[in-house]
Amino acid sequence: MSLQIIDDWYGDRALDYEAAWELQRELHAQRVTDEIGDTALLLEHPPVYTAGKRTEAHERPFDGTPVVDVDRGGKITFHGPGQLVGYPITRLPSHVLVVDYVRRVEEALIRAVADLGVATGRVPGRSGVWVAADHRGPERKIAAIGIRVTRGVTMHGFSLNADVDLAWYDRFVPCGIADAGVTTLTAELGRRVRVPEAADAVRPHLVDLLGWEPYASSPDLVHDDAHPQVPVLGLPGAAPS
């Protein structure tokens, strides 16, 4: 059975983070007992910062925006309007390791944004999806990943910046990475890319890559410095997203 996508929370219907987290927990429990099949939520959140297990006190913003402590790997990140958030609730097959799962989610996002006209890739040692350094600046992160796997089933997931206001990222160091930038599909393409358009691009690739068949990985971006950044709770070397 293929991955079921549920996406009913965009724009004015954006889902509060804690309500989405509770929904994740409910679906996770149902997936553990095989009451449901693999499922993914695609949505937007009202503005919120989420702090992973490695977030330090000085990294928290104090602008009045809610900060929610969560049970995923990584440090602090932002979710809000203009950003596509995805929460796959999937049982990992025995041949798919946790890092393999992270790479599959990255690959789905790389292929989706390529369909929209943005060339991206992985940076060795850092999770997420990146636009290569060019005349406009250093490497720019366009999608972040931070997950948790418990009882063999995934929670949390990814965020893809479609048309989010990048001023939110000026209030903290995104995912604890100070030597790189953040970008959006809108900024890279020079036209407005709304979240439902981004979701339409991501959906088929997420279904394909989480069908667990072998796949050809996109090439990494050229990057000389290695900074281990794999945001997986409980995985050796777990670090920011």
**CA–CA dist 166, 134 (Å, integer):** 19
Compute φ and ψ for 107, nearest 5 degrees: -60, -40
The neighbouring-strand residues paired with 153 are: 91, 150
3-state SS assignment for residue 44: coil
**CA–CA dist 115, 132 (Å, integer):** 17
Output the furthest CA–CA distance in the chain (Å, rounded). Answer: 51
Amino acid at residue number 141: K
**Tokens encoding 63:** 């602008």
| Candidates 175, 180, 185, 199; catalytic one | 175
Amino acid at residue number 93: P
Identify which of 86, 89, 202 has the alpha carbon closest to the alpha carbon of residue 155.
Answer: 89
Q: Which residues have CB under 8 Å from 185's CB, separation 6+? A: 113, 116, 118, 142, 160, 161, 162, 163, 193, 198
Amino acid at residue number 145: I
**CA–CA dist 134, 109 (Å, integer):** 21
What residue has token string 């932002």?
A: 78
Residue 47 DSSP symbol: S
- Give catalytic status of residue 175 as yes or no: yes
**CA–CA dist 157, 240 (Å, integer):** 13
Catalytic residue list: 175
